[in-house]
Amino acid sequence: MNGSLDRDLELERRLQEALGPGFVLERAIGQGGFALVYAARDVGLNRAVAVKVLRPELAGTAAIRERFRREAEAMARLRHPHVIPVYAVGEGAGLAWYVMPLVTGGSLRTRLDRERRLPAGEARRILDEAAAALGAAHRAGVLHRDIKPDNILLDGDDARVLLTDFGIAKALGGAAPAGALTATGVVVGTPHYMSPEQASGERGIDHRSDLYSLGVVAYQMLCGDLPFQANNTPALLVKHLSEAPVPIERRSGNVPADLARAVMLCLEKNPNDRFKSAHALVEALDTGQVPALPATRARAARPMARARAGSERTKAMAAARARGSRGGTSRPALPSLPTTSGRAPAALAMTGRPQAMASLAGKPKPSKKEGESSEAGEGKSS
């Protein structure tokens, strides 16, 4: 499947010995930061399986072995059509492994490497299935914390999603042991898919962090590129923390508005602005009823503010005119009035109302307003 895999014949020999005659190792098929994955045959049941074995250099660390065992347990407990099942788990000969079905379609990573961008319908299906899997994990109290295309496997001819690699998953609320594990120096998450709260090292991240990472994956499927790129990790993390992603419709045509909006909603910086749950995302994708983006909501609320600003402006301008006309009379001006004359716009500027300023400068924004209202309308009707 991948020609660039490191072959470790000694490891293969030890693993085969540890597995015993019930499984026959066939070939290396994948590797990640923690583990190597092999295709094998389950002799008793005569079926193809995959064996994931913890990298031997890591297997000596009890905390990492514990983390690996917990990964297998978490996945085995989930029992969801889009979470890869675990058939067996084992330890021996200084190795730790678990057995799962062999997924034939590769990962979403290999698919994106090949096709770069997926048709919107296919991207929607993959997002939907992955979100359903996440929803099940979250309901079971498990965060994934490493959602990325490598960990989304595509099975069979219909490329059914099987979410895998709950390697840095931790039980929701079980902060102490997971904190201890991550304190071993293991890097948690992948910077390109990391949520702002993960990037800033917040301790209390929750399920909405997974939704952000899934949003990054979906953005990549639809646009062919990640929302943020940078030459180094700190610069990348800063972008996740503070830069707004380019709207999907500007990077890719033919993406239905509801799908684009659902993905952009996942990418909101503030977890409170995202979907409440993975389940809510699934529902939105299935019904097309996707809430408006916070920025749109704010803009939709602004006509009120504009009206307020308008009436204030009218008053201010009337006052300015009144002062001006009085100042223009031959009568001696009262000391206070001429000094305030002509300062109304500056005073508005000081109060930080750019719109009032723009209006005063004769720059209404009708085109944007039209865009906003149609977008907001779509949000309600679609």
Q: Could you tell me which stretch among 144-152, 217-225, 311-319, 358-366 binds Mg ion (CB under 5 A)?
A: 144-152
CB atoms within 10 A of CB 23: 23
129, 218 contact by CB (below 8 A)? no
C-alpha 161/C-alpha 118 separation (Å) is: 15
Q: What mask, x for binding Mg ion by CB under 5 A, covers residues 21 to 60?
A: -----------x----------------------------
Query: Nearer to ligand ADP by C-beta: 153 or 281?
Result: 153
Question: What does 100 interact with, of Mg ion, ligand ADP, none (CB < 5 to 8 A by kind)?
Answer: ligand ADP
Q: What's the min distance (Å) between Cβ of 37 and Mg ion?
A: 9
Q: How far is the CB of 224 from ligand ADP (least distance, A)?
A: 20
Residue 151 touches Mg ion, criterion: CB under 5 A: yes
Asked whether the beta carbons of 1 and 30 are under 8 A apart, the reply is yes
Q: Are 192 and 216 in contact (CB under 8 A)?
A: yes
Angle between the N-to-C axes of helices 62-78 and 175-182, in degrees from 0 to 180, rounded to the nearest 10: 130
CA distance 167 to 173: 17
Is 176 exposed, middle or buried, given 0-12, 13-18 or 19+ CB atoms closer than 10 A? exposed
User: Under DSSP, is residue 290 helix (H, G, I), strand (E, B) or coil?
Assistant: coil
Q: Which of 45, 158, 51 is nearest to 101 (CA)?
A: 51
Alpha-carbon distance 120 to 223, whole Å?
Answer: 10
Q: Using alpha carbons, select from 270, 131, 127, 136 the residue that is nearest to residue 210.
A: 131
107 binds Mg ion (CB under 5 A): no
Q: Identify which of residues 162 and 344 has a Cβ nearer to ligand ADP in the complex.
A: 162
Tell the smallest beta-carbon distance from residue 144 to ligand ADP (Å).
Answer: 11
Span near Mg ion by CB under 5 A; candidates 62-70, 108-116, 151-159, 371-379: 151-159
Work out how close the CB of 297 gets to Mg ion at its nearest, in angstroms, rounded to a whole number: 36
- Which CB, 55 or 124, lies closer to ligand ADP? 55
Tokens of 111: 């698919």
Give the residue among 227, 207, 376, 198 at the shortest CA–CA distance from 293.
376
Q: Which is nearer to ligand ADP, 83 or 84 (CB)?
A: 84
**Catalytic residue (choose from 6, 42, 128, 146):** 146
Residues 278-317 that bind Mg ion (CB under 5 A): none
Size of the site for Mg ion (CB under 5 A): 4
What minimum distance in Å lies between the beta carbon of 218 and Mg ion? 18
Phi-psi region of 201 (alpha: psi -120 to 50; beta: other; left: phi over 0): left
Question: Which of 82, 217, 103, 86 lies closest to 162 in space, CA to CA?
Answer: 82
Residue 164 interface partner, choices ligand ADP, Mg ion, none, CB cut-off 5-8 Å depending on type: ligand ADP
- With binding defined as CB under 5 A, does residue 71 bind Mg ion? no
Q: Which is nearer to ligand ADP, 143 or 280 (CB)?
A: 143
Q: Which residues make up the interface to ligand ADP (CB under 6 A)? A: 29-35, 37, 50, 52, 84, 100-103, 107, 150-151, 153, 164-165, 167
Q: What H or E segment, with its residue span, contains residue 38?
A: strand 35-42
Helix (H), strand (E) at residue 19: helix 9-19
Rg of the chain over Cα atoms, rounded to whole angstroms, equals 28
Is residue 129 involved in binding Mg ion (CB under 5 A)? no
Smallest distance, ligand ADP to C-beta of residue 203, A: 23
Task: Give residue for tokens 């492994």.
Answer: 97
For the CB of residue 276, give the shortest distance to ligand ADP in the complex, in Å: 28
* Residue among 165, 197, 210, 372 that touches Mg ion (CB under 5 A): 165
Region from 66-74, 158-166, 257-265, 370-378 binding Mg ion, contact rule CB under 5 A: 158-166
Q: Is 155 a catalytic residue?
A: no
Which residues are at the interface with Mg ion (CB under 5 A)? Answer: 32, 150-151, 165
- Which residues carry out catalysis? 146
